[in-house]
Amino acid sequence: MSAAQRFSSRTFAALGVRNFRLYFFGQLVSLSGTWMQSVAQGWLVLQLTGSSLDLGIAIALQYLPMLIFGSYGGLVADRSDKRRILYITQSGAGLVAVALGVMVSTHHVTLWLVYVLGLALGVANMFDVPARQAFMQQMVGRDLITNAVSLNGVLMNAGRMIGPAIAAGVIALVGDAACFYVNAVTFLAVLVALKAMKGSEFLPMATVAREPGQLRLGLRYVRDNPLLRNVLVAVALVGTFAFNFTTTLPMLAHTTFHQKTAGHYGLLMGAMGLGAVIGGLYVAHRSRPTSRLLIVLAVGFGFFMTLVAFAPSLLWAEIALIPTGAFSIAFVSTANATLQLNSSQQMRGRVMSLHATAFLGSTPIGAPIVGLVIEATNPRVGIFLGAAVTLATAVMLVWVLRASRHSVATAQHFLLP
């Protein structure tokens, strides 16, 4: 076997599993549509109001249900059939896209309608995300979960790369509404893929019986596990302040570089998506998440975000976004795999819902904060705020890791005869 064949077989190992392969290609189609909708919605809000704060609120509302009720979504995933949950949530997200398209094409869209439909999408995602994360291990098993999570990150960012590029052209040619309609159609690919999966090939997964206090039990489980707790804190900090690119990048294109069409915003998102695909493939090939790797990735993410913040031109911003995207998805994939590998089967849905709350649910807090910072200063400061917090998070992880090792060494010393 040649070196290229060995690299390919190791990097794409999870695609050897039929059910995951169906899931992967169904999601590839769907996520391209999701990113088309994201670009179109961001540009739509800017057309309606021109306000970065309004844009931040519109994005925040999509993640507010995850912030408030995310743990309940994880508990439902632990109690229920994951594939059945995904049928319902993906159908609901498709209906939201249809509603947005109708409102825009009939010229009845208002900022408040965008808010309401964003909130409805957030309710669907509150159940969808933890079920999808837990479903992945049911498809591929423990040995391939890191590879599958990383390939899923590649998948998301391939969509980020393809979707904005298509969206920019579609908006220019036929307007925003078409992006919403296309996104609605792409959800059919996921539903067909779910239907085509073979139930007999899923790994058996225990479901949790209905009992009082299960949400508190999940929180105590994470609290008492230092590794899970530290990773979730890091994800929450970075998610709140750094992962606000759907707020910061439209404003960077629109305000800083004076681009009045969606095309250049699409290029910024596409550059980041390209980098994220590269970063995801690296983690998929490596497949060994460690605390040290998480720290290195946080430093790289913060450093290249700083370069984006101070980029002298749109071209340099696009170039700097490629490594930014690579480090960002590598950080998220490594954190995700660490949580999955170090949580019990019965708790995995709740642990991954806390991950989703920390990463996605933090957006209702972070997006308006970053929007206000941009309103008061400029988009460069908003991006640099995320970079500074990410670098500070890396320092925190170093301190926690050293403190943990010191505690272990001290305990071993006193236990010696």
Cβ pair 122, 65 in contact under 8 A: yes
Return d(Cα 367, Cα 373) in angstroms, integer. Answer: 10
Task: Report pLDDT for 260.
Answer: 62
Query: Would you mind telling me the total number of residues written for the chain in this entry?
Result: 417
**Segment 63-74 mean pLDDT:** 79
Task: Report pLDDT for 214.
Answer: 66
**Segment 168-186 mean pLDDT:** 85
**Segment 191-203 mean pLDDT:** 88
Task: Report pLDDT for 238.
Answer: 92
Q: Cα–chain-centroid distance for residue 14? A: 20
Task: Report pLDDT for 407.
Answer: 46
Query: 379-415 and 226-241 helices cross at what angle (nearest 10)?
Result: 170
Query: Is the torsion defined by CA of 123, 127, 132, 134 positive or negative?
Result: positive
Return d(Cα 336, Cα 332) in angstroms, integer. Answer: 6
Q: Which domains does the chain have, with CATH numbers?
A: 11-197+214-415 (1.20.1250.20)
pLDDT above 70 coverage of the chain, percent: 86
Nearest to 214 by CA among 64, 80, 120, 121: 80
Q: Is the pLDDT of residue 413 over 50?
A: no
Q: Would you place residue 406 in the very low, low, confident or very high pLDDT band (cuts 50, 70, 90)? A: very low
What are the tens digits of pLDDT across the range 112-142?
A: 999 999 999 989 988 898 888 778 878 888 7
For the entire predicted model, the pTM comes to: 0.70
Average pLDDT, the chain: 81
Angle at alpha carbon of residue 289, lines to 286 and 290, rounded to 5°: 125
What are the tens digits of pLDDT across the range 200-225?
A: 888 776 555 565 566 677 778 888 88
Between 151 and 25, the more confident residue is: 25
Q: Would you place residue 296 in the very low, low, confident or very high pLDDT band (cuts 50, 70, 90)? A: very high
Task: Report pLDDT for 262.
Answer: 60
Q: Is the pLDDT of residue 165 over 50?
A: yes
**Segment 308-333 mean pLDDT:** 90
Least confident of 15-19, 194-198, 249-253, 404-408: 404-408
Cβ pair 214, 75 in contact under 8 A: yes
